[in-house]
Amino acid sequence: MPTPHVIYILSDEHCGMAMGHTGDPNVRTPNMDRLATEGVTFTRAYANCPVCTPSRGTIFSGRHAHAGPVQGFFDVYKATAPSTATLLRDIGYHTAYFGKWHCGVVKDQAPPAVLEHPEDYTRWPMRTPEYHRAGFQDWYGFEVNNAPFKGFYYHEHEVNPRRLDGYQTDALTDLSMQYLESYDREEPLFMTLSVEPPHFPLEAPERFQRFDPEQLVVRPNFGDRQQELRQQLAIYYAMIENLDENIGRLMDTLNRSPVFRENTLVVYFSDHGDFMGSHDAFCRKSHPQEESIRIPAIFHWPEHIPAQGKRNDLFSLVDLLPTTLGLLGPEIPSHMQGIDFAPVLRGDAFEGPDAVLLEMHGNPRWNLDFLDWRGLVTDRWKYAYYETGHQLLFDLEQDPYEQDNIAATDTGTCERLRRQLLQMLSQAREPYFDVLIEYGTHPESPVVDVSNSETACLSPTWQDMIQKSDR
């Protein structure tokens, strides 16, 4: 068998429940659905650390954030760290990256064009140093845009950024299509197309804004701010439908090409989810609820991955790199912490994990709601331990929308899962959180919040520990 090309399509903040084939009653995603039908989609796929930077470190290293090359929000991919790109280069691949990286911000690396006109750029316009690009050779990337209609990127080794014309997802897809159409190297290609949408700010091309907010079918745990949240959800869906169209355009390019048509593995996934109005939150993640941690994970490789459609195995992003290597054939390095799901993708017998390790490591601390935690999810249970000593326990069979925290009432299950979590953390080289879980002291309270900013209050600390200042 000739060595296949590998295409990763990576979006940002796409909740895995917001696709047609996973049951969303509002959004239309025919291209994602087709890839899923012709291949495999994991309907219980999870982001192990649901915030951008450390999640991306997990994606490309096969290691959990607390023990990987990118250990917190705005950390960098360490210069000598093995990655998907370096490992595939070792077996003869050429590599290319398009779009958002968010694993290489060095604060003084704003080039002359940015310094001369800072008003033309968003908050993090820095150029990614070559040794923080995780071994990708051809580079058309940026750290953070957060401006879907005012995008920019850094072209190869150029010092100053270039502008993206139009809407970011369209423009990056155009760039990657042009690259594919002109690709004439003998080496197989590993390419990543990484787009920010549907990450905030919530903006979409007008022709995709077809949703009437009042007519949307929302989840039972949808928040009380109905009008505001419904308007946000309508734009979020529009961004997903635009993304789906661009996935279709990219697939059409592959299918037209004699280079890629016959033998290309395509994987679509996201770095984390979004609350989508559930639990009264939008443009938020970083907590262990399903909306925050569930992601798309679709594998498509005709004649090599049999059409299986939906599977409910407990897949997570730490498994993506070992699974990719398992499909391609080289030995999986011993430093990988994920599981090789290649057997299940091929339709072979497979016994998957009974639990997925979850965490928030290096939370950005925008406000008091941003705390670190560790947790796990099984077929039935969700457990999390926060740095403040608070615990969450949800019975996903009886309470799929996670509206009833039973940590205080089902103490037996809580203790059993706490012990299981400690064992998983030991196996994953946890540096300190196990000490908090076993020996943590009771923190001082109440905590006075002197900020006047609004927050969704997703952390359990708001119930008994934090009070607003009366200033």
pLDDT tens for the chain, 471 residues long, are: 689 999 999 999 999 999 999 999 999 999 999 999 999 999 999 999 999 999 999 999 999 999 999 999 999 999 999 999 999 999 999 999 999 999 999 999 999 999 999 999 988 999 999 999 999 999 999 999 999 999 999 999 999 999 999 999 999 999 999 999 999 999 999 999 999 999 999 999 999 999 999 999 999 999 999 999 999 999 999 999 999 999 999 999 999 999 999 899 999 999 999 999 999 999 999 999 999 999 999 999 999 999 999 999 999 999 999 999 999 999 999 999 999 999 999 999 999 999 999 999 999 999 999 999 999 999 999 999 999 999 999 999 999 999 999 999 999 999 999 999 999 999 999 999 999 999 999 999 999 999 988 888 999 999 999 998 876
Q: What is the pLDDT of residue 2?
A: 80
What's the one-letter identity of residue 197?
P
- In order of 50, 167, 413, the CA distances from 72 in angstroms are 11, 29, 30
Within 13 A of 394's CA, how many CA atoms are on the CB side?
19
Which residues, including other chains, have CB under 8 Å from residue 375's CB and lie 6 or more apart? 288, 357, 358, 359, 382, 383, 384, 385, 392, 421
- Among 244, 191, 251, 267, smallest CA distance to 39 is for 267
Distance (Å) of CA 59 to CA 11, 84, 103: 12, 8, 11
Burial class (CB in 10 A: 0-12, 13-18, 19+), 3: middle
Amino acid symbol at 384: A
Residues pairing with 194 in the sheet: 10, 99
Burial environment of residue 455 by CB neighbours within 10 A (0 to 12, 13 to 18, 19 or more): middle
Render the burial of 103-117: b for 16+ CB within 10 Å, e for the rest.
bbbeeeebeebbeee
Which residues, in sequence order, are CB contacts of 168 under 8 Å at separation 6+? Answer: 145, 147, 148, 149, 151, 195, 196, 197
Closest CA to 418 of 379, 373, 458, 460: 373
Contact, 80 vs 351, CB < 8 A?
Answer: no
Q: Are 260 and 3 in contact (CB under 8 A)?
A: no
CB atoms within 10 A of CB 306: 13
Q: Could you give the C-alpha distances from 92 to 5, 28, 151, in angstroms and in order?
A: 11, 38, 33
How many CB atoms lie under 10 A from the CB of residue 404?
11
* pLDDT number for residue 469: 85
Q: For residue 86, what are the β-bridge partners?
A: none
301: phi then psi, degrees, rounded to nearest 5: -155, 90
Crossing angle between the packed helical segments 52-61 and 320-328, to the nearest 10 degrees: 30
- 234 vs 238: CA distance, rounded Å: 6
**In this structure, is the dihedral angle defined by the CA atoms of residues 309, 49, 466 and 396, taken in order, positive or negative?**
positive
Whole-angstrom CA distances from 254 to 181, 305, 352 are 8, 17, 32
Cβ atoms 448, 467 nearer than 8 A: yes
Give dist(CA 142, CA 100) in Å, integer. 5
State the pLDDT at residue 471.
65
Beta carbons of 276 and 292 less than 8 angstroms apart:
no
Of 103, 101, 97, 99, the residue nearest 85 (C-alpha)? 97
Q: What is the spatial distance between Cα 393 and Cα 415, in angstroms, rounded to a whole number?
A: 10
- Are 271 and 280 in contact by the 8 Å Cβ rule? The answer is no
Structure tokens at 207: 């022709």
69 contacts 61 by C-beta, under 8 angstroms: yes
Closest CA to 122 of 100, 98, 138, 96: 100
